[in-house]
Amino acid sequence: MTPQRSVEEHVDHVTRLLAPLTAEPGVEAVPLTEAAGRVAAADVRSEVDLPLFRNSQMDGFAVRATDVAHVPVALEVTGDVPAGHEVPLVLAAGTAIRIMTGAPVPSGADAIVPVEDTELVLGRDDDLAGAVVEIRRPRKRGEFVRERGSDLHRGEVLVRAGTRLAPRHLAALAAAGVTTVDVRERLRVAVLTTGSELATPGESVRFGQVFDANGVALAALVEEAGAVVSLRASSDDDPETFARVFDAAIAASDLVVTSGGISKGAYEVVREVLLPRGAEVTTVAMQPGGPQATAVVDGVPVLCFPGNPVSTQVSFAVFLRAPLRAAAGLPELPTRRIRLTESVRSVPGKRQFLRGRVGADGVAPVSGPSSHLVAAMANADVLIDLPAEAEAVEAGADVTVWTL
């Protein structure tokens, strides 16, 4: 009989197997345009002040606040600064310069009066020669002036080491003129799905076939956890086919993940090909996700998950997400304790991961426990972790949930 392991024992086993992958993270420089989702390897400091120069927050007129303290007041218009204007202007006392949002504020000016609070009493918008503007609302010193460095000073940190670069980080880096960023190298993970019954979505499906749900899910889970998919392939239950894609995966990857073909029946292609290559096939006392296997082939760790789509996704969440996130330099996703809103039953002796949804009152299961309920799982946002010894947990009790 295959030995049964606790979830904790298998987590430890997988963590040990993957430890070499998390030991020494490499660093690579990538263009900012390709940096979304990557993890900054070091603090990035700005070489410039932001804003780069003192500029206007409004379309209007640059003035001296003291000149507009009593309104209405008429001021001669001595210049015009559109955004992008390259020659710095100087404002003389008792005059105004027309200015657009983002344009450099003339030296001598210390406030902007928005155009809505003004009227040209001489001259036209398209010809400011000899123009005079009437200012109808006073503005204090500094109003609508964006000072150089008021967002960030040169030398300050734009993005901290360990930050996963989201669009807002890319915007800050680009605003500071950064073109490349040092990021952590990603683990290359191959995703292999198995089963002669698998059809690719988009193909016609014959009787007895199912669409491959695990390939796309595992690939997305791997990338969400900060790694990169090095190869994605599907194999039928012919050992030669599987051995071929498996060898290609080993050659191209730091880690190989498979789904299906490891339980107790015939045609278990992963078990058949990998047992002679040193795989350890085991049963973990959990549901879903009982059948599990691991191997190290040519120095590359291999994790084999059971094929039922819910089992594959739960296996990833329980065994692989944390090590992949650690290797990527991402923090672990914390578990939480939440009130259960419905009583549930569990299988004694097995830790159960029910799919649940968190609402205002607590968490409720979205379906029964079966591991083929792939559509129901789409409504879940957490796994409800029921202890191995529990036979039932009553509504109102606190349970541990894992973020999906």
Ligand X SMILES: Nc1nc2c(c(=O)[nH]1)N[C@H]1C(S)=C(S)[C@@H](COP(=O)(O)OP(=O)(O)OC[C@H]3O[C@@H](n4cnc5c(N)ncnc54)[C@H](O)[C@@H]3O)O[C@H]1N2
Question: Could you give the CA distance from residue 217 to residue 148 in angstroms, rounded to a whole number?
Answer: 47
The residues pairing with 189 across neighbouring beta strands, listed in sequence order, are 229, 255
Instruction: State which residue has the least CB distance to ligand X.
Output: 307
**CB 311 to ligand MOO: min, Å:** 3
Near ligand MOO by CB under 6 A, which window of 159-167, 211-219, 231-239, 286-294? 286-294
Say what angle helices 321-328 and 7-23 make with each other, to 10 degrees. 20
Which string of b and e fits 3-25 if b means at least 16 CB within 10 Å?
A: eebebeebbebbeebbeebbeeb
* Binding residue (CB under 6 A) for ligand X from 235, 263, 294, 313: 263
Contact between 189 and 257 under an 8 Å Cβ cutoff? The reply is yes
Quick check: helix, strand or coil at residue 97? strand
DSSP 8-state code for residue 404: -
The minimum distance between CB 220 and ligand MOO, in angstroms, equals 20
| 327 contacts ligand X (rule: CB under 6 A) | no
> Contact between 106 and ligand MOO (CB under 6 A)?
no
Closest separation in Å from C-beta 386 to ligand MOO = 14
Nearer to ligand MOO, 230 or 287 (CB): 287
Please, which of residues 355-394 interact with ligand MOO by CB under 6 A? 371
Cis peptide leading into residue 72 (ω within 30°): yes
For residue 320, give the 3-state DSSP assignment. helix
Q: Which residues pair with 99 in a beta bridge?
A: 60, 81
Residue 239 CA: distances (Å) to CA of 249, 262, 300? 15, 13, 20
Q: Which of 60, 289, 323, 329 binds ligand MOO (CB under 6 A)?
A: 289
Residue 253 in contact with ligand X, rule: CB under 6 A: no
**Length in residues, the chain:** 404
- Which one of residues 137, 264, 337, 339 is an interface residue with ligand X (CB under 6 A)? 264
Measured from the CB atom, is 294 or 311 closer to ligand MOO?
A: 311
Counting contacts by CB under 6 A, is residue 198 touching ligand X?
yes
Q: Which of 67, 185, 268, 385 binds ligand X (CB under 6 A)?
A: 268
Tell me 207's DSSP state: T
Q: What does DSSP assign to residue 109?
A: -
Query: Which one of the spans 106-114, 142-150, 195-203, 356-364 is the region binding ligand X (CB under 6 A)?
Result: 195-203
**Contact predicate 43/152, CB 8 Å:** no
For residue 216, the minimal CB distance to ligand X (Å) is 9
Give the C-alpha separation, 179 to 96, whole Å.
38
User: Least CB distance from residue 395 to ligand MOO, whole Å?
Assistant: 24
Task: Identify the residue among 80, 134, 197, 223 touching ligand X (CB under 6 A).
Answer: 197
- Residue 117 is given by DSSP the state G
Of 256 and 373, which has the nearer Cβ to ligand MOO?
373
Stretch of 74-82, 90-98, 238-246, 307-315 contacting ligand X, by CB under 6 A: 307-315
Of the candidate residues 288, 301, 323, 329, the single one contacting ligand MOO (CB under 6 A): 288
Task: List residues near ligand MOO by CB under 6 A.
Answer: 287-291, 306, 308, 311, 371
